[in-house]
Structure 1
Amino acid sequence: MTTKAPTLRFERSFVEAGHKLVAGADEVGRGALAGPVSVGMVAIDATSAKQIRGVRDSKLLTPADRVALVPKIQKWALAYGVGHASAAEIDALGLMAAMRLAGARAWGQVVATARPDIVILDGNHDWLSAGEPSLFDDAAQPGCDAPVLTRIKADLQCLSVAAASVLAKVERDAMMTGYATDYPEYAWEINKGYATAAHRAALLGVGPSDLHRRSWRLTPEQPLMPAVDIAN
Structure 2
Amino acid sequence: MTKRTIKEVKRVLAQMTDLDDPRLVGLKADPRKGVQLAIQSTANRLHKHAKALAEFEARFKYERSFWHQGLQYVAGVDEVGRGPLAGPVVAAAVILPQDFDLVAVNDSKQLTPRIRAELAPKIQAQAISVGIGLVDNHGIDELNIYQATRVAMKQAVASLTPQPDEIIVDAMQIAVPIRQTRLIKGDAKSISVSAASIVAKVYRDHLMDEYAKQYPEYDFVHNAGYGTAKHLAALKALGPTPIHRMTFSPVDKFSKK
TM-score range relative to shorter protein = 0.7 to 0.9
> Is contact 2:106–2:191 with CA below 8 Å preserved after alignment?
yes
Select the structure that is richer in helix. 2
> RCO greater where, 1 or 2, for CA within 8 Å and sep 6 or more?
1
Which one is further off, 194-203 or 4-13? Answer: 4-13
Amino acid at match of 2:108: S
Query: Structure 2 length as normaliser, TM-score?
Result: 0.73
Once the two structures are TM-superposed, the CA of residue 220 in structure 1 deviates from its matched residue by 7.9
Give 5+ residue unaligned stretches, structure 1.
131-143, 223-232
- 2:146 is the alignment partner of 1:114: no
**Max radius of gyration: which structure?**
2
Amino acid at match of 1:99: T
Once the two structures are TM-superposed, the CA of residue 108 in structure 1 deviates from its matched residue by 2.4
> Is contact 2:167–2:181 with CA below 8 Å preserved after alignment?
yes
How many pairs were matched up? Answer: 201
Give 5+ residue unaligned stretches, structure 2.
1-50
User: What is the correspondence of 1:22-171 to structure 2 with a 5 Å cutoff?
Assistant: 22-45=74-97, 48-110=98-160, 113-123=161-171, 125-126=172-173, 128=174, 130=175, 144-171=176-203
Aligned-pair identity in percent equals 41
Amino acid at match of 1:116: P
Deviations for 1:59-111, whole angstroms, at most 9, x for unmatched residues?
A: 1111111111112101221111121100000001111221122112211221x
> Is contact 1:34–1:212 with CA below 8 Å preserved after alignment?
yes
Measure the CA separation in 2 of the matches of 1:178 and 1:219: 21
Amino acid at match of 2:170: D
- 2:209 is the alignment partner of 1:209: no
> Is contact 1:7–1:51 with CA below 8 Å preserved after alignment?
no
Measure the CA separation in 2 of the matches of 1:186 and 1:69: 28
Once the two structures are TM-superposed, the CA of residue 174 in structure 1 deviates from its matched residue by 0.3
Please report the RMSD computed on the Cα atoms of aligned residues, expressed in angstroms.
1.9
> Is contact 2:78–2:93 with CA below 8 Å preserved after alignment?
yes
- Counterpart residue number, 2:67: 15
Measure the CA separation in 2 of the matches of 1:220 and 1:208: 8
Matching residue within 198, 202, 220 for 1:188: 220
- Counterpart residue number, 1:141: none
